[in-house]
Amino acid sequence: MIIIMKKNATEEEIKNIIKEIENKGFQALVTDGIERKVIGIKGDVSTIDSELFYKTGVEEVKRISRPYKLVSREFIPKDTVIDIEGIKIGGSNSPVIIAGPCAVESREQIIETAKAVKEAGAHILRGGAFKPRSNPYSFQGLKEVGLEYLKEAGEITGMPTDSEAVGESYVKLVSEYCSIIHIGARNGKSFELLKKAGKIGKQSRKPILLKRGENATVKEFLGAAEYIANEGCSDIILCLRGIRTYENKENGFQRYTPDLGSISVLKKKTHLPVIFDPSHAAGDREYVRSLCRGAIAMGADGLMVETHLDPDNAKSDAPQQVRPKTLQKIIEDVNLIYKKK
């Protein structure tokens, strides 16, 4: 339920509404709409009568039946800009580029890669320390020491860092080493993990990068973001990465179907920034550049591009990682296209 105040509502009137909400045992969240204040109520209000809130100064009380309200454009009409150690996602003059290897493989590898992607124009360094793999016998990452190396590489190059928290018990750890807590596509509907990420994100003031689940609808994706927002963490970066359809690599196509069409749908429905990961979508470095161009032309705020110094010998996702040289061309491309928006 959201309560839209009149244009000329007084502070007194707003306070009264907040009090009323708190008296019912709920928590109120006040945001600025286009011309007026909007008050959201957190929690399950399905049994509350909306009439209760039609008090002086109130324009409209809207019951929202969708699984998301805090992350909706209706609640916050303005684009959310997230500041990550000075890098702004969501309202910048150029798209934000997150780059780095699929997995941290060694101290040298991540430091050298960090330098190379920085040089190519990237803003934020990514690197997996814990790797969720379909095959339990595949390389599962360097674990905590991978986070240490990533942190060091970020410090050396002056880049914020991003790494995945693969389960509830990993969120705190990642928050201690990294600038961004990353939730992967396979956990895109693991609600307990989302809640934990929201809690730790709030405490640590670290943003959450949330990947769309492989088969999530746009509504479910926003519902997942709402789980995080509902814990009080409002800095959420939505990351598209392809969806599973009848197309696939065995059919001579890409690994997933790139969900570029979702960029404008999300931009309409939510105020959160949206970035695109071409590497997992394509599963093939040959198609990464084209996807990056498309994503930025369609309105994405940034890209996450898996980049490796020697992709053919990468310990995971070898076929989809690009070289720093390609990354540089991609960044040149998308900077030109971005300005044409």
Scanning 49-57, 73-81, 147-155, 242-250 for contacts with its own copies by CB under 8 A, the matching segment is 242-250
List the interface residues with its own copies, window 312-341 (CB under 8 A).
333, 336-337, 340
Binding of residue 53 to its own copies (CB under 8 A): no
- 133 burial via Cβ count (<10 Å: 0-12, 13-18, 19+): middle
Alpha helices (H) in 39-103, listed in sequence order: none
- Binding to its own copies, residues 9-48 (CB under 8 A): 43-46
Query: In whole angstroms, what is the distance from residue 77 CA to residue 255 CA?
Result: 35
* Rounded distance between C-alpha atoms, residue 1 and residue 62, angstroms: 6
Q: Which CB atom, from 153 or from 224, has the smaller least distance to its own copies?
A: 224
Token pair 């209000």 is found at: 45
If the CB atoms of residues 207 and 223 are measured against its own copies, the closer one turns out to be 223
Cβ-count burial 281-301 (b if 16+ within 10 Å, e if not): bbbebebbbebbbbbbbbbbb
Min separation Cβ 314 and its own copies, Å: 14
- Alpha-carbon span 280 to 178, nearest angstrom: 22
Nearer of residues 15 and 66 to its own copies, judged by Cβ: 66
Residues 87-146 that bind its own copies (CB under 8 A): 132-139
Query: Would you say 244 or 325 has its CB closer to its own copies?
Result: 244
Footprint of its own copies on 139-158 (CB under 8 A): 139
SS (H, E, C) 107-135: HHHHHHHHHHHHHHCCCEEECECCCCCCC
Site residues for its own copies, 249-278, by CB under 8 A, read 250-254, 257-265, 268-269
Q: How far is the CB of 106 from its own copies (least distance, A)?
A: 16
Among 147, 236, 296, 314, binds its own copies (CB under 8 A): 296
Contact call for residues 4 and 56 (beta carbons, < 8 A): no
Which of these ranges, 10-18, 95-103, 150-158, 190-198, lies near its own copies under the rule CB under 8 A? 190-198
Across 252-320, the runs of DSSP E, i.e. the strands, are: 274-276, 302-306
- Give 82's strand partners: 89
Q: In the set 119, 192, 310, 312, which binds its own copies (CB under 8 A)?
A: 192
Residue choice 7, 19, 55, 219 for contact with its own copies (CB under 8 A): 219
